[in-house]
A and B are shown apart, each in its own frame.
Chain A
Amino acid sequence: MTHDAPSDLRYVRYDSARESEYVAAMRQLISKDLSEPYSIYVYRYFLYQWGDLCFLAMDEKDEMVGVVVSKLEPHRGGPLRGYIAMLAVREEYRGRGIATKLVRMAIDAMIERNADEIVLETEITNTAAMKLYERLGFLRSKQLHRYYLNGNSAYRLVLLLKEGVGSIRTSFDPYGMPHAPPADQPAHAVAATQGNGS
């Protein structure tokens, strides 16, 4: 069940002026659950282009306890697609609705920017993350076989925000047979947990 987020937390939008401080904390928070960390370029890729879609939860000591990182861009010349790339909440803070709050902030920001749909992947075993997103209205659109490096499969979760998006044609065929995955859907990830609260 979703509880109200505790009042001793502050939710803020990422601020590039505080990059060195924020990115370090963010990397620490996210890398904790990863066997292989993302390179700095992954963080920069998102934060330089879509820093305004990144939200942070800070505790009373101004320490980062939760983060969501996302992007928003046209998908293969088709719908304006939001993508929630990373979500993490410090372990001792989980179960308090922090992740839900952060994801809602990201979704609301994307809706404001006229997003057509929002997608993400979660590990099939990560029931907490799946529940979180499904409660928010996401549907599992497909299963991705052995998507992560640990051999676990993933679900693609999709939230449609506007009518008619499903029939927008994209310029690239997402179901093509070639072995290489489409450029913006890398085939694998490390054993990542969608850090979750709620």
Chain B
Amino acid sequence: MLPNNEVRVPPPRAAAQSAVPRDITADFTEASSKLRTGQLVKDETFTLFEAVGALEIMDSKMDSGYIAPGENQAQALEDNYDVRRDLTPKQVVGLMDQLLCHEMAWHMGHPLSQTLFTSIYIDKLLWPVPRTMEDARFDRVPSESPLVSHVLRAYCLALIKSCDFVHARVASEYFYEEEDFVTQLYNRSLLSAFDSSHFYRLLDQAVDWVEVEEGIDQKVRDAIRSRLLLRRDFLASVDQDLEILDTRSTDSFMSCLSHLKALAETVSLGTTVPEAFSLKLQRKLASTVPPRPIVHIKHEDAFAHMKRLCQDAIDLQQILDYRGPSNFKTAVWTLLSRKPQPSVYIRSLLQALIVSDLTILGAVSVKQFLYDDLAELVLPSSILLRANTDEVEVPSDPRFQIAQQMEGFVKRFAQPFVDTVRCACLNRCRIRRTICHTVIDWDNLQMEAEELDLQLQNLSAEPALQFPGGEATFSYPLSSWAYHQKLIQLRLILQMGFELSIYAPEELPGVYWYLSHICSTHLAHLDRIRTFIVAARKRDLVSSSSRAENPAQTSPAFHKSFLYLERLTTHIIAIDAFAIALHALYVLLARHNVLPSASSPEAYSSDRLRYELRMKPFMPISLPELVPYEEYQREATLDGDADTTILDRASKAITEARKAWEATLANGAFSEDVSSPTREPSIAIEEDWRRDIKDTMRACIGASIAIETVKKALLGDSPPSEKKPVNLQVVIPEIGSKTQWHDWWIVPQISENKTANPPTS
């Protein structure tokens, strides 16, 4: 369905500087008299976007300022609600909880106009714009009830201030307006001008007042107190949130969690005050948005959202100790792959922590980060990473020239490389879409790196390697590294596709085939890298002995690379084997017409066109080349292979997959660096990682069972024949269902059909 867009502010059009105003009323009247009623005169540049953004004035559904005939103007715009009225303590609890719901709804991506800005109390604090903290009150004459003028006011002010910090954090990072968050403030300020110390002071005063107020029932008093304390700690959490890099302290978020527990237990004490919220306030907000309903979320959903936010913020601390690029990348990806995905605030905070001012985690320069990654994968102990123009100042010296080339490399590659990590902070849909885009950049980057490699191999006088029966060849470390990045991205495009549920059942055999194709390409590439590192290691041993150096100096670097390659290889073998097994399984299901199909026989399009469409992100990539349709068709259908051969393939592959996933699990989430001192382990994130692998292993077991079921049906006592099709029922589980163990591994539910004549699709 055509989207009905919220962005109703047309892009500003620059007026020509020389324009001279002229009265066109007469021209306009004459021209318009020649038109039929309703006839459209459309500017060339009038787009659908603008058509959708247009409002019909005087239509109550679209025009938020519209006052119907007979409607009293004052009543239509103003609420009778008296912000000075007395509130019972229970009503204060109810109001605080309702406000928290609105705050969290805003965090979840709803606009302020449908959430917090429907609160009459909040509106009074923010409009007219307060010039001093004193000004920021519900009414010029404060309510005589301290519960209102002290307690509720302090609560509301602190809430607005924490929104100010959240707003600033999100707005300063990559996010998608309206998808992730709505930054629109409707010409209000979230008290940004006032220092947070005011808010803490007011909260403290309110807490002090509540604590000694004898007139309130103990339980309710505690409930109000814990809500004020939550506000205090949440404000402290989001205030200066980047300081965690220095303090490593998650105390405020921890306190929030304990107050939240108290809140959830006392939510029933509150009495709602629905009349303190009004849709009429939308009419006063500077916006071209039609009237929209107040968003109501449940208390438990609001609490759950805030709880997750706090927990994610606490666990985020575990990524802050830099332990090398691969560990860092694993931790970031794992944390951000939590379900539900961490909130936009957490994702923004993480972006800021990952890289600010060209520094990773506030500690490592992006150059160092890039070099660490190169050293780990392709260049352990290499002159390319050691060369430095500070030490060698003679321009004719190859080391000087190497250093210069490498500087150019860093300039060009550091940002895209950091972005591969940062990309995980986008929403899940955008991660895949962004990778579809950046993988093309990496294709070009790889070619650029290859140019550099050629020059560097001359400068470093790299000896060629002679492959048996082949030509002499060189290591091409930078482009090898870039190719590795690209292969990861190509794999992610396919895997995120499963997660986002974009494949039709009939596509599954083909997509799993392609996944294994990418994996085997990757494995071959890692082999090549390993070969060159082995050769470099041999040369290093020879040269260090000739220089009477201690090879122990360089051996940890090589050791680290070999270990890393081993870990990568094991992991990719695991993915590859599982993909091969599922591919074989799905081929059999398709072959025997029991694989459900989304498209009907009367569908438009064709398999070839659907392949072209599905592989569109792979099409512009020069290496690996897109597999031509004919070849894909042959390979993906295992054309010519007998059922028994395919069954055998499936069984062998799933056995190998289970072993490889076991090995991956045993390797652990993080590679331990023997040379660095032991650090705090990333317990929560490591646990997430282990759960992910274990879910995959469960999916493996599910696939083994499915393969056995198919084997029994095909090779059992009554094998299928032309007259008697195979007696199986196949269900493709939905993402998120219980039988779907892992988002990236779609395992079919296969059972024997009870009926005598099973349907064929």
Contact = CB atoms under 8 A, between A and B. Distances in A.
B7 interface: yes
Contact of B175 (A39, A155, A163, A179): A179
B90 interface: no
Nearest to A120: B1
Contacts of A173: 437
Contact of B433 (A136, A137, A165, A175): A175
Nearest to A45: B51
What 9 A-B pairs are tightest by C-beta distance, nearest first? A175-B437, A189-B3, A186-B5, A137-B603, A137-B605, A134-B598, A45-B51, A192-B1, A85-B2
Contact of A166 (B290, B599, B616): B616
Given A19-B38, A134-B598, A142 B612 contact: no
A113 interface: no
A159 interface: yes
B504 interface: yes
A142 B616 CA distance: 11
Interface string A50-92: 0000000000000000000101000000000000011100000
Given A149-B6, A167-B620, A186-B7, A160 B40 contact: no
B429 interface: yes
Interface in A76-135: 85-87, 107, 111, 120-123, 129, 131, 134-135
10 contacts: A39-B54, A41-B40, A71-B48, A85-B2, A131-B598, A145-B176, A147-B179, A163-B612, A186-B48, A187-B178
Interface stretch (B55-63, B460-468, B674-682): B55-63
Contacts of B433: 142, 175
A171 interface: no
A184 B610 contact: no
A36 interface: yes
B427 A165 contact: no
A135 B55 CA distance: 36
Contact of A135 (B3, B430, B603): B603
Contact of A87 (B1, B3, B177, B507): B1
Interface in B601-616: 602-605, 608-610, 612-616
A28 interface: no
A183 B62 CA distance: 22
Interface string B427-440: 11110111011000
B502 interface: yes
B292 interface: yes
A161 interface: yes
B542 interface: no
A20 B38 contact: yes
B180 A145 contact: yes
A42 B174 contact: no
B5 A187 contact: yes
Interface in B96-116: 108-110
A155 B148 CA distance: 47
A121 B609 CA distance: 19
B61 A137 contact: no
A189 B2 contact: yes
B718 to A, nearest CB: 30
Contacts of A155: 502
Contacts of A87: 1
A34 interface: yes
Contacts of B500: 142-143
B97 to A, nearest CB: 21
A177 B434 contact: yes
| Interface size bracket, A side | 35 or more
A69 B109 CA distance: 30
Contacts of A138: 605
A153 B736 CA distance: 15
A136 B502 contact: no
B179 A134 contact: no
B582 to A, nearest CB: 19
Interface of A: 2, 19-20, 34-42, 44-45, 48-49, 69, 71, 85-87, 107, 111, 120-123, 129, 131, 134-149, 151, 153-155, 158-167, 173, 175-177, 179-181, 183-190, 192-194
B133 interface: no
A187 B612 contact: no
A160 B53 contact: no
B376 to A, nearest CB: 28
Contacts of B174: 177
Contacts of A49: 42
A151 B109 contact: yes
Nearest to A179: B177
B76 interface: no
Given A35-B293, A163-B609, A136 B603 contact: yes
A186 B292 CA distance: 18
Nearest to B37: A20
B47 interface: yes
Contacts of B61: 36-37
B245 interface: no
A149 B61 CA distance: 15
B615 A166 contact: yes
Contacts of A148: 3
Interface in B204-240: none
B599 A136 contact: yes
B604 A36 contact: no
Contacts of A193: 1
Given A139-B610, A145-B427, A153-B429, A183 B56 contact: no
Contacts of B51: 39, 41-42, 44-45
B504 A139 contact: yes
Looking at A153, A159, A160, A177, which has the most chain B CB atoms within 10 Å of its CB?
A160
Nearest to B110: A151
B610 A160 contact: yes
A181 B179 CA distance: 10
Nearest to B430: A145
A10 B51 CA distance: 30
Contacts of B108: 151
Contact of A107 (B177, B290, B427, B604): B604
A19 B40 CA distance: 12
A149 B614 contact: no
Given A140-B503, A146-B109, A187-B7, 12 more contacts: A36-B62, A38-B52, A44-B51, A143-B428, A145-B427, A145-B430, A149-B4, A159-B604, A160-B613, A177-B174, A186-B53, A192-B1
Nearest to A86: B2
Nearest to A37: B61
B106 to A, nearest CB: 12
Interface in B36-78: 38, 40, 42, 46-56, 59, 61-62
Contacts of B177: 179-180, 187
A38 B2 contact: yes
Residue among B3, B500, B612, B613 having the largest count of chain A Cβ atoms under 10 Å: B3
Nearest to B108: A151
A61 B620 CA distance: 54
